[in-house]
Amino acid sequence: MAHDQGEQAGNDVMDAIISLAKRRGFIFQGSEIYGGLAGTWDYGPLGVALKNNVKSLWWKRFVENRDDMFGVDAAILMNQNVWKASGHVGGFSDPLVECKKCHHRFRADQLTDQQKCPDCGGSLGDVKQFNMMFQTHVGAVQDDSSVSYLRPETAQGMFVNFKNILDSQHPKLPFGLAQIGKAFRNEIAPRDFLFRAREFEQMEIEYFVKPAEWRKIFEHFVSEVQAFIKDVGLDSGKVHELEVPDGDRAHYSKRTIDFEFDWPFGRKELYGLAYRTDFDLTQHASSSKADLSYYDEETKERFIPHVIEPSFGLDRTILAILCDAYREDDLGGEKRAYLKLVPAVAPYKVAVFPLLRNKPQLVAKAEEIFRSIRKAIPAIIFDDNGNIGKRYRRQDEIGTPFCLTVDFETVEKGSGVTLRDRDSGRQERVKETELIDHLLKLSGVRTVS
């Protein structure tokens, strides 16, 4: 009973988040006017802003603030031999069962009853392995030689460029390649909004190390993943590290930690951190015949580096942020829903309002203040639509941390503007001359590292 109630509450929260995301222009169902395409999602203006903020925090932490990381943006389509060597053609599959009666298909490992169809109660067929890569043909000829795949992970785009980075950048170990980009998996059962999609984005690092140093560097990335979780404002109390046991890890991994998150639909993976050994470079070296070894000038040794891979789902980050930030409360006797986003990820840091839209002197002053703040804080919005209460609710729902109102005192007495805090609803008066510094300090955008 309690379990059912918990499940119902989780479903209600997810419904509220999905509806807010659509209503306010964060995320829409893919191809919606045609009835949708399962497992695809389109980001609207606010979703793009949120996503870009997350990407830029990630890029700052893992690339710009370090001397040992190189950015890469590899092609999504790759030579089919990449996926043969990586093991994806042979083994990137999930167990599939089909109902003999209604022909609905399920992931066998997610069914509680392996015999009966959860949709119609019909009996289920044998379990088959279903390869999750989307296959296509490159060029006009459709034969075996033109087969290619939409990449199911960004990782391989970095392994195949290892030699290019060595030859062009001459880095010393340890160093890493970092990439943000789309990945595609033909999931048997896409579900839970952005959680399991067929098209999604990953932010991945392949960090090359001397074999003896992998443990120390693995621990370093455990802390860096935790730090990034804080950067985007997630409650670290909802994140749990799971040491993935032997037998459950991917074929290439000798150690994996899953960073799991308490989603409204249960505790499930958010990110992964894996020790991929020298598996990928060795496979690609033997399959392509390219020399993917590294020569250590100090020890005069030549060897294939080992790899630590922190892998972050971008869309899962967005979903975790929305789930963690979504709140409902009573403010001034009125119910409201709001997003308690940290300023660093909020699509807009500040909203500027004239108290009344039909008073030209208020509108002109508000526009002047809007323009001056925008130079220092570009993520700012002007809003004079509807009454002030409605404007507050709208900004609360999209997670804008501060609303700034120009009223009669601003223009008649020069006594500054009111600044309202999203979470408490409290207002303070701030002098115009101190406004930008005050906002920069409050929103922390100047100090994000």
Binding site for ligand GAP (CB under 6 A): 153, 155, 185, 187, 196-197, 200, 202, 204, 269-272, 309, 311, 313, 315-316
Distance, in Å, from the CA atom of 52 to the CA atom of 18, rounded to the nearest integer, reads 20
Q: Would you tell me how many other CB atoms lie within 10 Å of the CB of residue 122?
A: 15
Q: Nearest distance from residue 184's CB to ligand GAP, in Å?
A: 9
Nearer to ligand GAP, 191 or 393 (CB): 191
Alpha helices for 24-102 (secondary structure H): 45-59, 80-85, 88-91
Tell me the two tokens of residue 274: 């894996």
Q: Nearest distance from residue 149's CB to ligand GAP, in Å?
A: 14
Task: Fill in the DSSP letter of residue 124.
Answer: B
Nearer to ligand GAP, 27 or 430 (CB): 27
Distance, in Å, from the CA atom of 376 to the CA atom of 442, rounded to the nearest integer, reads 13
Nearer to ligand GAP, 263 or 294 (CB): 263
Nearer to ligand GAP, 269 or 384 (CB): 269
Nearer to ligand GAP, 131 or 443 (CB): 131
Nearer to ligand GAP, 233 or 310 (CB): 310
What are the angstrom distances between the C-alpha of 100 and each of 94, 105, 131?
Answer: 19, 10, 21
Maximum pairwise Cα distance, the chain: 79
Q: Nearest distance from residue 419's CB to ligand GAP, in Å?
A: 37
Q: Nearest distance from residue 159's CB to ligand GAP, in Å?
A: 10
Q: Nearest distance from residue 201's CB to ligand GAP, in Å?
A: 8
Task: Fill in the DSSP letter of residue 191.
Answer: B
Query: Which single residue brings its beta carbon nearest to ligand GAP?
Result: 313
Nearer to ligand GAP, 51 or 185 (CB): 185
Nearer to ligand GAP, 278 or 315 (CB): 315
Q: Nearest distance from residue 66's CB to ligand GAP, in Å?
A: 20
Tally of CA atoms within 13 A in the half-sphere of 365 that contains its CB: 24
Tell me the two tokens of residue 216: 């120390």
With vertex at residue 314, the alpha carbon angle to CA 345 and CA 222, rounded to the nearest 5 degrees, is 90
What are the angstrom distances between the C-alpha of 127 and each of 60, 115, 135, 251?
Answer: 45, 11, 22, 20
Q: Nearest distance from residue 263's CB to ligand GAP, in Å?
A: 12
Distance, in Å, from the CA atom of 69 to the CA atom of 293, rounded to the nearest integer, reads 19
Q: Nearest distance from residue 423's CB to ligand GAP, in Å?
A: 28
Alpha helices for 326-398 (secondary structure H): 360-376, 388-398
Distance, in Å, from the CA atom of 370 to the CA atom of 267, rounded to the nearest integer, reads 42
